[in-house]
Amino acid sequence: MSKQSKYFLAGVMGWPVMHSRSPRIHNYWLELHGIEGHYAPIAVKPDGLEKALRALHPLGFTGVNLTIPLKEAALDVVDRVDPVARQIGAINCIVVHEDGLLEGFNYDAYGFIASLREADSHWKANAGPVVVLGAGGAARAVLAGLIQDGAREIRLVNRTKERATSLALEFGETINVYDWSQRAELLAGAAMLVNTTSMGMLGQPPLDIALDKLERNCLVADIVYVPLETDLLARARRTGNRTVDGLGMLLHQARPAFRHFFGVMPEVTPDVRRLIVSTL
Ligand code: ATR
């Protein structure tokens, strides 16, 4: 007989959802920790989101992750929203409480900062100016993480400047907005460069930015993880800069979600990283 009194169920909802790596990550950790349970991909259309979320409690699910295109819409469905998720404007993790209450979190900011700390345990957001490229959903999570971690100066640039300006209004005075044409010169004196745009992703053109002003000690991060080494990261590596790929953010955001769903805080080890790299 099993020593566990309950079979744990959780999953990821999205539309489409089969591309998600989350089932591989969570099911690997379930097996590693000897927990009886399963983490499933759940295909849910946006117009079925509310019904699907309300079904979680009667079905006995402990929670779900959310992916595109459900992350923003979930804000209007759940009963309670964590302040970080509210600031990012999207939910990527829902916890089902014992009484059925649904609480929304967003661990993308946490995952981003944790992936930087994994690359450099002493890394701090206040080490110097940070250049952030992009002003979409991913940028919101990166900015929330940087600000929470104490960033003092963020240089934000986006092809469509108005989107960056409205993010700066929302996120506060740490953020200074520049023109897209200034992106290369903004690297002078920067302690970190982060790409949050879709440039460099498989099927997209590479990010077009000159790196001649990049300081040797500038950490270069890309939230893209397919390919694992984008053209930006390859060029930064060749100039001797430290780089952080986007897979770390994906792996690290899964840790607190796993703890909510299954009661154990798992670790991002070379083994789980290798497992996911093998699927890219
Ligand atoms: P996500 O939620 O994944 O961040 P998004 O909201 O579509 O996706 O944002 C994509 C980001 O990549 C935006 O900052 C976008 O710039 P715009 O706001 O000007 O659209 C940026 N991006 C996409 N294609 C780009 C390109 N060819 N050149 C520069 N930036 C680009």
In the chain, how many domains are there? Answer: 2
In a domain, residue 188? The reply is: yes
Please compute the mean of the pLDDT values over residues 275-279 and round it to a whole number.
Answer: 97
Cα(60) to centroid(ligand 1), Å: 38
Select which of 3, 51, 71, 213 is catalytic: 71
Question: Which amino acid residue places its CA nearest to atom 18 of ligand 1?
Answer: 160
In a domain, residue 113? The reply is: no
Structure tokens, 134? 């992009």
Q: Are 82 and 191 part of one and the same domain?
A: no
Q: What is the pLDDT of residue 4?
A: 81
pTM of the predicted protein model: 0.95
Report residues whose beta carbon is within 6 angstroms of any ligand 1 atom.
Answer: 134-139, 158-160, 163, 196-199
Please compute the mean of the pLDDT values over residues 114-134 and round it to a whole number.
Answer: 95
Domain boundaries, position 190:
121-241
Q: Are 83 and 35 part of one and the same domain?
A: yes
Q: Are 77 and 17 part of one and the same domain?
A: yes
Buried b (16+ CB within 10 A) or exposed e, 148-170: ebebebbbbbbeebebbeebbee
* CATH number of the domain encompassing residue 187: 3.40.50.720
pLDDT tens for 228-260 read: 999 999 999 999 999 999 999 999 999 999 999
Atom of ligand 1 nearest to the CA of 133: 14
Residue 77 DSSP one-character state: T
Q: Are 148 and 75 part of one and the same domain?
A: no
Q: Are 31 and 98 part of one and the same domain?
A: yes
Q: Are 227 and 135 part of one and the same domain?
A: yes
Please compute the mean of the pLDDT values over residues 72-89 and round it to a whole number.
Answer: 98
Q: Are 190 and 83 part of one and the same domain?
A: no
Q: Are 132 and 89 part of one and the same domain?
A: no
* CATH number of the domain encompassing residue 44: 3.40.50.10860
Residue 19 DSSP one-character state: T
Question: Which amino acid residue places its CA nearest to atom 30 of ligand 1?
Answer: 159
Q: What is the pLDDT of residue 1?
A: 53
Q: Are 103 and 68 part of one and the same domain?
A: yes
In a domain, residue 165? The reply is: yes
Is the per-residue pLDDT at 206 higher than 90? yes
- Give percent of the chain with pLDDT exceeding 70: 99
Cα(227) to centroid(ligand 1), Å: 17
pLDDT tens for 147-205 read: 999 999 999 999 999 999 999 999 999 999 999 999 999 999 999 999 999 999 999 99
Query: Which of 68, 163, 182, 197 has most ligand 1 atoms within 8 Å of its beta carbon, as the pocket-test mutant?
Result: 197
Q: How far apart are CA 203 and CA 98, in angstroms?
A: 43
Q: Are 255 and 155 part of one and the same domain?
A: no
In a domain, residue 213? The reply is: yes
Q: Are 146 and 220 part of one and the same domain?
A: yes
Cα(137) to centroid(ligand 1), Å: 9
In a domain, residue 170? The reply is: yes
Please compute the mean of the pLDDT values over residues 213-225 and round it to a whole number.
Answer: 96
Residue 178 DSSP one-character state: E
pLDDT tens for 7-52 read: 999 999 999 999 999 999 999 999 999 999 999 999 999 999 999 9
In a domain, residue 116? The reply is: no
Q: Are 40 and 85 part of one and the same domain?
A: yes
Question: Which amino acid residue places its CA nearest to atom 28 of ligand 1?
Answer: 159
In a domain, residue 112? The reply is: no
In a domain, residue 84? The reply is: yes
71 is catalytic: yes
Q: How far apart are CA 130 and CA 21, in angstroms?
A: 29
Question: Which amino acid residue places its CA nearest to atom 14 of ligand 1?
Answer: 134
H runs (alpha helix) in the chain = 22-32, 49-59, 83-88, 108-119, 137-148, 161-171, 231-238, 247-262, 270-277
